[in-house]
Chains A and B, each alone.
Chain A
Amino acid sequence: MAFISSGYDPNNPMQDRITDIGPRNFEEFYPPVIKNNKGKWLYHEILQPGVLVHVSETGDEVYTVRVGGARLMSVSLIREICEIADKHCGGYIRWTTRNNVEFMVDSKDKVQPLIDDLQSRKFAGGSYKFPVGGTGAGITNIIHTQGWIHCHTPATDASGPVKSVMDEVFNDFQNMRLPAHLRISLACCLNMCGAVHCSDIAILGYHRKPPMIDHEYMDKMCEIPLAIAACPTAAIKPKKVEIDGKTVNSVEVNNSRCMFCGNCYTMCPGLPLADKEGDGIVLMVGGKVSNRLSAPKFSKVAVAFIPNEPPRWPKTAETIKKIVDTYAADARKYERLGEWAERIGWERFFEKCDLEFTHHLIDDFRDPAYYTWRQTTQFKF
């Protein structure tokens, strides 16, 4: 493995340096049918799950075949996508904001060969490489964060639970039987570097134990004032600790104030908090971002804790499936999950979905808590 230079000179980083050029311009990447019809589209229709047609005032049509994919993607798989796009789509391809891949063709006769090609490709392990679906009143791809594959503060994995849940609800990826579309998201800790707080169903990794303190190494590894400042609830204070007869600088953590965010660990590796028994999943439901019918809504906590169960997270997947099926059977056409829960009342939501209500589900965090308690005599028995 010989080092091959790109031309960069480490002793003179500013030489020939190019900066601040930004992204490539989108215009270079539009397929011709898009370039010619931008801003001229009249309407669209979903012809079958995963297949859309958009019709332009020029008379042009673009057919889109949408496929799901893992967000984690190898260069070999991307090259395979390129090969398909070269064969069927004139060398153009796009991704959606929810990790789906869209293959576009400019006439109807090109659609079926493309679908056949996509559906025929499978991994050695048996799963589809490019399942067609993710449109309309169904479940599309889950947006998610890194989890155990790359993050330093996750309370759960991301790719594993996503694969498990998508396998469980796969029929709804390829069908459009739901009252409205249903969006699932996953963030592997409460910092939510993927914002999941307005999803129909949010899967959230959550730690339940405060950090351990590596007293012996704290002052060697960490800058203690930074660890203290990192804590959003001011739960960390400096403390002198005796180790083997020597007094060392360290910290103490007020456990009752800790919200398990891991921000101190980011600043200071002497404060790890991950824990097999402590960590698991919170399920939140009923959020949305669209302004359609009702205003955008935050997701609400429906299940306070489900243990991590790698590799397949069965309890998480089953609970989500149960919520989806109950919603599908009970909600009215066009009603999003949160609108349905509000119409029937949250007391009914818990009953119908067979979910236990515990004290953990009553908000006690700062000001917004009060607004979630019930200030009316209107409720259901």
Chain B
Amino acid sequence: MALDYEESKQKIIEGLQKKSKTKSKFYFNDLAKILDAKPREAKKIVTQMINEGILEFWSSGSTSMYGLKGTGKQAGAEHENE
């Protein structure tokens, strides 16, 4: 069954905010776990959240992570430069 977008979006936002004190970046699998969904289903939700500007990518070059847009300690430094 397809996931409901609005409901899933809230779950992810709440899930990430809960942990925001210690970290702002999460692996894709962490998001799939929050949704308790198969990776391919979770990806549809996450992609839409990226396209709406709620989530943003972070990349080490070799690994990618996701976070709520504008959060995190490096975000300030990098967005300042824009």
User: Smallest Cβ distance from B60 to chain A, in angstroms?
Assistant: 5
Interface 1/0 per residue, B5-39 and A, CB below 8 Å:
00000000000000000111100000000000000
User: Smallest Cβ distance from B13 to chain A, in angstroms?
Assistant: 18
B62 contacts the other chain (Cβ, under 8 Å)?
yes
User: Is B51's CB under 8 angstroms from A223's CB?
Assistant: no
Q: How far is the CA of A279 from the CA of B51 in the complex (A)?
A: 42
B81 contacts the other chain (Cβ, under 8 Å)?
no
User: Is B25's CB under 8 angstroms from A14's CB?
Assistant: no
B79 contacts the other chain (Cβ, under 8 Å)?
no
Which residues of chain A (259-313) have a CB below 8 Å from chain B?
263, 266-267, 269
A222 contacts the other chain (Cβ, under 8 Å)?
yes
Closest to A269 in B: B74
User: Is B73's CB under 8 angstroms from A266's CB?
Assistant: no
A225 contacts the other chain (Cβ, under 8 Å)?
yes
Q: Is the interface of A mostly helix, strand, loop or mixed?
A: helix
User: Is A221's CB under 8 angstroms from B73's CB?
Assistant: yes
Q: Is the interface of B mostly helix, strand, loop or mixed?
A: loop
B70 contacts the other chain (Cβ, under 8 Å)?
no
Interface residue tally of chain B, by bracket? 10 to 19
Interface residue tally of chain A, by bracket? 10 to 19
Which residues of chain A are within 8 angstroms of B25 by Cβ–Cβ distance? 223, 226
Q: How far is the CA of A266 from the CA of B64 in the complex (A)?
A: 12
Q: How far is the CA of A44 from the CA of B25 in the complex (A)?
A: 53
User: Is B62's CB under 8 angstroms from A267's CB?
Assistant: no
User: Smallest Cβ distance from B19 to chain A, in angstroms?
Assistant: 9
User: Is B61's CB under 8 angstroms from A221's CB?
Assistant: no
A193 contacts the other chain (Cβ, under 8 Å)?
yes
Which residues of chain A are within 8 angstroms of B51 by Cβ–Cβ distance? 14
User: Smallest Cβ distance from B25 to chain A, in angstroms?
Assistant: 6
Q: How far is the CA of A221 from the CA of B61 in the complex (A)?
A: 19
User: Smallest Cβ distance from B28 to chain A, in angstroms?
Assistant: 14
Which residues of chain B are within 8 angstroms of A267 by Cβ–Cβ distance? 60
Which residues of chain B (34-53) have a CB below 8 Å from chain A?
51
Q: How far is the CA of A317 from the CA of B73 in the complex (A)?
A: 43
Interface 1/0 per residue, A208-242 and B, CB below 8 Å:
00000000000011111110000000000000000
Which residues of chain B are within 8 angstroms of A221 by Cβ–Cβ distance? 73-74
A221, A223, A266 pick with most chain B CB within 10 angstroms: A223
Interface 1/0 per residue, A193-204 and B, CB below 8 Å:
100000000000
User: Is B74's CB under 8 angstroms from A225's CB?
Assistant: no
User: Smallest Cβ distance from A376 to chain B, in angstroms?
Assistant: 39
A191 contacts the other chain (Cβ, under 8 Å)?
yes
Which residues of chain A are within 8 angstroms of B72 by Cβ–Cβ distance? 223
Neighbour of A223 across the interface among B23, B61, B62, CB < 8 A: B23
User: Smallest Cβ distance from A200 to chain B, in angstroms?
Assistant: 26
User: Smallest Cβ distance from B50 to chain A, in angstroms?
Assistant: 11
User: Is A223's CB under 8 angstroms from B60's CB?
Assistant: no
Asked, given contacts A223-B24, A226-B25, whether A266 binds B61 with beta carbons under 8 Å apart, the answer is yes
Q: Give me 8 A-to-B residue pairs in the complex whose CB atoms sit less than 8 angstroms apart, sorted by A's number.
A: A193-B62, A222-B73, A223-B22, A223-B25, A223-B73, A263-B60, A266-B60, A267-B60
Known contacts A220-B73, A223-B23; 15 further A-B pairs (Cβ under 8 A):
A193-B61, A193-B62, A222-B73, A223-B22, A223-B24, A223-B25, A223-B73, A225-B22, A225-B23, A226-B25, A263-B60, A266-B60, A266-B61, A267-B60, A269-B74
